[in-house]
Amino acid sequence: MPYLKKIARPNIEFLGKISEQEKAELLSRALAFIHPQLEDFGITPVEAMAAGRPIIAYGEGGATETVILGETGIFFPRQNWESLLDAVLHFNPIGWDSAHIREHAAQFQTDIFKNKIKKFVEDRWEEFQKGWKQEALIH
């Protein structure tokens, strides 16, 4: 941390540990959230969308399943600084529908996710049982 503070420009502020409420407040004031990494899911873009902010994401991995191009964010095609810079320079922070972005993020809430997983497992189990019973009738 001391090294990073030393090399940081004056417009960079290191906050250290912050509360979830402070994080949500900071995210809600951002023009966009940059997500340049490749992750299976990636909770941070969903947190930023829950705060109503659009995402600038690398167009691979979990971000492609949580970010809707043109509605909740944009993608950049290559995981390098040139591609990211191009996306940031061409990003227009005006016109994003914060309410729509928050609504989209709501589908990833823990309770909703648990219910979807439970229903998925129950549906597959029911399909399996039906298939198993049919197979037993044939023999």
The percent of residues above 70 in pLDDT, for the chain, comes to 94
Model's pTM, two decimal places? 0.79
pLDDT above 90 for 70: yes
The percent of residues above 90 in pLDDT, for the chain, comes to 80
At residue 10, the pLDDT reads: 94
> What confidence category does residue 138 fall into, taking pLDDT thresholds of 50, 70 and 90?
low
Q: How many CA atoms lie within 13 A of 74 on its CB side?
A: 18
pLDDT digits (tens, 9 = 90+) for 89-125: 999 999 999 999 999 999 998 898 899 889 999 999 9
- Closest among 99, 57, 49 to 75, alpha carbons compared: 57
> What confidence category does residue 134 fall into, taking pLDDT thresholds of 50, 70 and 90?
low
At residue 130, the pLDDT reads: 84
Q: How far apart are CA 53 and CA 32, in angstroms?
A: 6
What length does the chain have?
A: 139
At residue 42, the pLDDT reads: 85
Contact between 51 and 43 under an 8 Å Cβ cutoff? The reply is no
Q: How many CA atoms lie within 13 A of 92 on its CB side?
A: 6
pLDDT digits (tens, 9 = 90+) for 42-65: 899 999 999 999 999 999 999 999
Mean pLDDT, the chain, rounded, equals 92
